[in-house]
Structure 1
Amino acid sequence: MKYEYGDEPVIDANQHSFVFTDLIPGKKYIYRVGVTDYWSEWFEYQTPSADDNKFSFIYLGDPQNDLKSQWSRVIRAAYSHAPDCGFMLYCGDLINRAGRDVEWHEWFHAGSFIYGMVPQVMTPGNHDYNGLMLDPHWNAQFTQPANGPEGLEGTCFVIDCKNLRLISIDSAADSELRNEDGFKLEAQKVWLDSVLQANTKEWVIVTTHLPFYSTKENRDNKHLRENFQSILEKYKVDLVLSGHDHSYGRGRFTDNPQNGHKVMYVVSVSGPKMYEAGYKDWMEHSGAFKQLYQVISINGNELKYESFTAGGELFDWFSLKKKKGGKTIFTGK
């Protein structure tokens, strides 16, 4: 593929993907990639055990800016904290300017070998789009599931991991989601209802770039709640993880108290671009001007959430425990 951005040199690149199949649970694999005399270093990957429902993953808000100089410390701290995590989840805005190859170079430099050791899962942000056009690097670089609505391959999808169902909603093309006739809105609503109705996993987490409830004083994504919140509450989704606002907020809230279920919403940021957090009724805990990473651990009917600063200091935490009969017990800061 050829990539052009402004007056910068044209980049001519070859990208390849390979899907590993028939891997044995609980086994360590080593691999490298290359051709003839050109080979990468060796990577290793431990497949999850099939014997239990215990695992963890890392959740990161927007990296976006100064990836090599200031974001690299966050992803490396997160990996050092939880090197055995099942995957790393990004809530969009991986870079700042869609289509700019030099920024993708910084993103890959920042995480380096980690990307070859830990599966990377990402939902796109508005900075990963140019208007309504997805950055051409996205699907060329990342082999994500293509099990969502047609036309949203690699951005809207579902992944099952042990007793977790993880769902990505593509909210990045905001102008089309606001259009009630837009196919991205209608297709995702129908699809979301279907994958939640068919769910057999104990835990359900949704990730999307735009927050259902914003941390920033002058922002509100009401159209997301109007179109998706009732679906989440109908199927008792546990957690929604977002980015976009460059500050931190966490809380259980609803616009529909008659539905009898409140989803836990989290907004976080990992990059150095940070905003002040407003005072919003939905937030049970908030913070600003902190680069953060989150470790989410699931062990059967218990979920533990921890948020850490780049220096490894615990900033926020809560736990959810599911009881027989469908009741969920919350404990938290």
Structure 2
Amino acid sequence: MQLKPTYGMLAKLALVSAVLASSPALAESYPEANTLVPEGMQRYVASAFPDRIILLPGQHAATEQRLSWRTNTAVERSLVQLTVAQNTPGLHLTAHEVEGEWRLGESENGQAHHHAAVLSDLKPDTLYAYRVMGQDTWSEWFQFKTPKASFSPSTVLYFGDAQNAVLSHYARTVREAIRRTPHAEVMLYAGDLVNSRYGVLDDEWGEWFEATGWMGASMMQVPVTGNHEFIEDEQEVRHLVSAWPLQFNLPTNGPEGLQDTVYFTDYQGVRYIALDSTQAVQSVDSARLQGEWLKQVLADNPNQWTVVIQHHPMFSVSLGRDNPILRQYWQSVFEEFGVDIVLQGHDHTYGRSMANEQGPVYVVSVAGPKMYLVSENAEQHMLRNAEDVQLFQHLTFTEQSLEYRAYTVTGELYDGFNLHQQAEGANRVESIDLDGAEIRCQNPAPVRATRCWNGTELIHAPVGVK
């Protein structure tokens, strides 16, 4: 399936541009902000108390998990206490110590030590408790459960871009997701966790970790980079922001040169593969390299299900966007090796592909407040679309079927299907009955021809003013 620009798309752009030009109300603007931190104030300075604690996967999640956290520079030891969880509060009596390492990071919030540790030789299907050391203090005790060694049903959450006004607006999405799906075990992120491309806007990262809260330290997190996790140099070449490897201690099983951003992990019979579409769309060499690596990872895959997470869509949903290089180097690999579903972001809209005779289901979603407009191509070729709605998705894997549900930030079912694996041939997609029409932009004064909301205008927008 290949989407191409149409006259309908161009007409839609022209119409919105004309409305923008002719309406004085649309020219109004308010002070823009991307965080709740007022200019000149500091909220996210590293301290004696460990923060930004996050649980990340090893290649085999049943036996290895990874940790990252942050402290001030006085803490020069990266120490974890780990034990099998017990009912007694005397967790320290059975805990053992795991030593990690730290690296120095610097931002507008000053210097910090970013710590990383690997929890190896874990027992499958076991509840663990851990805490990390600060300056003459410790974090609270967190608990996590390792997956079973072989297939067993599991439920995961998937989020599109957070990016803008993360604590102000995105936070309610992730919190509603866990309220509605408290039994979820894994959280997947399709890139653009924050907005900054400069690598030093630490307040945005502070808000992302605050929005995620204790969930990030207790549920396995699977993040993927988006274009906003990269810096553009004078030649417009993108480079990964320093904050990414400092804060995400991920598996290093990706291709050479991409081991900070490309990886896979096996969790209870599901293989999750994280791709770096940002580098792929700017470099044929990167797209080809990841495609070749994919073949190896998919050819040697003992799992029941395969999920790919990437930022840029294989088939774009929003106006004026297209990523043909991904189709050239990745689509045939997905189809040849039976990838089941591809979870994506970037377009700040929602779209789900129609059932294909071969190949995976493709989904694009958005969790934060930046909202774009759906293209006419997507209206014609996608089974379900949306504008102007924050969403989260949960996926439940059983031995022969995958249940996919997309919910709005207020907890209403917006889309869903069941994917059934067949003994031979492609998966069978079973749609479910849905109430309600597709959602479209409700902003009476969009600021761009292709956007419903920027996201940065929402924090200080006066109440009731268009």
Answer whether TM exceeds 0.5 for this pair: yes
Q: Does the CA contact (< 8 Å) of 1:296 and 1:304 recur in 2?
A: yes
**d(CA) in 1 for partners of 2:293, 2:281:** 20
**d(CA) in 2 for partners of 1:34, 1:268:** 37
Q: Which residue is 2:190 aligned to?
A: 91
**d(CA) in 2 for partners of 1:261, 1:228:** 14
Matched, 1:40 2:139: yes
Matched, 1:25 2:124: yes
Matched, 1:154 2:256: no
Deviation per residue, 1:104-131 (Å, 9 max, x gap)? 0111111111111111111100000012
Which amino acid in 2 is paired with 1:140?
L
**d(CA) in 2 for partners of 1:36, 1:3:** 19
Q: Which residue is 1:13 aligned to?
A: 112
Q: Does the CA contact (< 8 Å) of 2:271 and 2:307 recur in 1?
A: yes
Question: Where in structure 1 do 4 or more consecutive aligned residues deviate above 4 Å?
Answer: none
Matched, 1:134 2:240: yes
Q: Which residue is 1:284 aligned to?
A: 383
- From 284, 290, 295, give the equivalent of 1:188: 290
Q: CA deviation at 1:299?
A: 0.9
Q: Which residue is 1:306 aligned to?
A: 405
**d(CA) in 2 for partners of 1:329, 1:313:** 25
The alignment partner of 1:45 has SS state of: strand
Structure of higher CA gyration radius: 2
- From 324, 329, 349, give the equivalent of 1:227: 329
- From 306, 311, 335, give the equivalent of 1:209: 311
The number of residues matched between the two structures is 320
Give the CA RMSD over aligned residues.
1.7
Q: Which residue is 2:461 aligned to?
A: none
Which amino acid in 1 is paired with 2:381?
W
Q: Which residue is 2:362 aligned to?
A: 265
**d(CA) in 2 for partners of 1:89, 1:295:** 10
**d(CA) in 1 for partners of 2:317, 2:339:** 21
**d(CA) in 1 for partners of 2:225, 2:355:** 24
Q: Which residue is 2:148 aligned to?
A: 49
Q: Which residue is 1:249 aligned to?
A: 351
TM (normalized to structure 2)?
0.66
What are structure 2's unaligned runs of at least 5 residues? 1-103, 233-237, 433-466
Q: Does the CA contact (< 8 Å) of 1:126 and 1:174 recur in 2?
A: no
Q: CA deviation at 1:66?
A: 0.5
**d(CA) in 1 for partners of 2:202, 2:246:** 12
Q: Which residue is 1:169 aligned to?
A: 275
Q: Does the CA contact (< 8 Å) of 1:252 and 1:263 recur in 2?
A: no
- From 75, 82, 106, give the equivalent of 2:207: 106
Which amino acid in 1 is paired with 2:129?
I
What are structure 1's unaligned runs of at least 5 residues? 255-259
Q: CA deviation at 1:328?
A: 2.1
Q: CA deviation at 1:217?
A: 2.3
**d(CA) in 2 for partners of 1:329, 1:37:** 57
Q: Which residue is 1:80 aligned to?
A: 179
Identity of aligned residues (%): 38
Q: Does the CA contact (< 8 Å) of 2:355 and 2:429 recur in 1?
A: no
